[in-house]
Amino acid sequence: MAVMITDECIACNACEPECPNNAIYDAGVAYDYAGEEHPALNDDHTYIVPEKCSECVGFYDEPQCIEACPTEAIIMDPDRVESKEELMKKKEYLDQVGR
C-alpha cells in the first residue's frame, strides 16, 4: 500500500525531504508525475501522491516519512494495498520517467 497523511498533519513538512520518490508535496502545490503537472490533492495540509509512493521499497526497509512525522499523521493507506513486487515496479517506473 501507499502511505497517506491524515488530518493530524500540522504541515510542518518534516517528512518532505525524507521521501526518496519526491512523493510528498505542500498543501495546495501542484505535483509532477511522469513529466506532467497535476493539481494538488490537498489544499489543507501536506499530502502524498499515491502513484509516487513505493513505501520506500527500493531504497529503505521502512517508510522514512512515518518516522519523521511529529504528530503521527502518516499511516498506511488501507485502500491502497500493494505487494512488494508492485511497489518495486512503481519505483522502477519512476526511475524511468523521473520523480
Applying CB under 6 A, the residues found at the interface with ligand SF4 are: 3, 18-19, 21, 23-24, 48, 53-56, 63-65
Q: How far is the CB of 52 from ligand SF4 (least distance, A)?
A: 7
The least CB distance from residue 65 to ligand SF4, in Å, is 3
Q: How far apart are CA 5 and CA 73, in angstroms?
A: 5
Cell of 63: 517508510
Q: What's the closest the beta carbon of residue 43 comes to ligand SF4, in angstroms? A: 19
In whole angstroms, give the CA distance from residue 45 to residue 58: 27
- In whole angstroms, what is the distance from residue 36 CA to residue 13 CA? 23
